[in-house]
Amino acid sequence: MSFTKIAGLGYYVPENVVKNDDLAAIMDTSNEWIIERTGIEERRFGTRTKETTTTMGARAAEIAMQRAGVEKSDIDFIIFATLSPDYFFPGCGVLVQRELKMTEYEAPALDIRNQCSGFLYGLSIADQFIKTGQYKNILLIGSEMHSMGLDFTTRGRNVSVIFGDGAGAVVLQPSDEPGILNTCLHSDGTHAEELASINPGSHSGYHLGTERFGYDDRKYGGTFLTQKMWDGEDLYPYMNGQLVFKTAVTKFPEVILEALQKQGLSPSDISILIPHQANLRISQFIQRQLKLRDDQVWNNIQRYGNTTAASVPIALTEAWEAGKIKKGDLVCLAAFGSGFTWGSALIRW
């Protein structure tokens, strides 16, 4: 059985830089408040008239394919991870195929809906396909256009100050040498609504609890989008920040240690940890828990905010471009997010 290697990687972020003071001008917040709670200093927002989740993903993919030395005709499977698709359906997989002018090759496209963990879930899927010989050149993309769906008022500041736009991509190929050593994936839907974008949706309040969301399915049942949703301005993401933080700092170390133990390794063996850029305070907590040095952890949330499914491939590409990842290094990827879903991957570079 062959191994799976990352043959090429790339990322794209919009040119538009939005600093904390820019947000403070339109909502009751401050640069100091945001930095203290998240570590974020600025983020990128796409240009509404020319950029989408798909187009950003395509730009990152082009760089990854060029670095991998593959042509469009070589790509035999596309995996696209996002929580902010261009359309409710179809998914971005086929849209990026069209954007890259690859439709004539008719490669299958798969969309991943695992939010912050989407890239790692996609990596695990690609790894299985490569190892079984089903595909030889898989294009995996994580891309997000959060700025199109955030509440930029004081009411929504706890969520809106965190997120940014961007995309990352990798090309995966078979290898005779160790590459992806393992992937560990988990989920627990108990608190699904504690980090979610509830509306619009097909639920119409059914099974979600009228106390929180205020919908009576007997009155609104079967309606995808109701006037009550508009009137209540209940069309934005919701996050129980304390619960998310508390769960993340537990599950992050657990899933990293799980991956290491499978290989008979310990945290000290990690050359570099690339965590999903959820919150700098979470990353710092994980670093302390695992007793890792500053040079063993890559953080870029200060400049890009939380780009969910795109954050791991963006950070991975940046670290590689900066010369922080070299042949033979043990690279650990980890993510936690909505669902809740979480996962990790160990890669021998």
Rounded CA-CA distance 226/229 in Å is 5
Using CB atoms within 10 A of its CB, is residue 139 exposed (0-12), middle (13-18) or buried (19+)? buried
Catalytic residue flag (residue 332): no
Q: Which residues, in sequence order, are CB contacts of 29 under 8 Å at separation 6+?
A: 20, 23, 154, 157, 161
Residue 186 is among the residues annotated as catalytic for this protein: no
Distance CA 129, CA 309 (A): 20
Give the closest residue to 69 by CA, choosing from 137, 134, 123, 143.
Answer: 137
- Helix or strand or coil: residue 180? strand
Q: Are strands 77-81 and 180-187 parallel, antiparallel or unpaired?
A: unpaired
Report DSSP state, residue 176: S
Displacement of CA 32 from its chain's centroid (Å): 26
Q: Which of 20, 92, 114, 116 is catalytic?
A: 116
CA distance 304 to 112: 22
Q: Which one of 114, 137, 184, 276 is the catalytic residue?
A: 276
Residue 306 known to be catalytic = yes
Question: Which class for 245: exposed (0-12), middle (13-18), buried (19 or more C-beta within 10 A)?
Answer: middle
Give bridge partners of residue 150 from the DSSP assignment.
Answer: none
Residue appearing with tokens 């997000």: 144
**Active site members:** 116, 276, 306
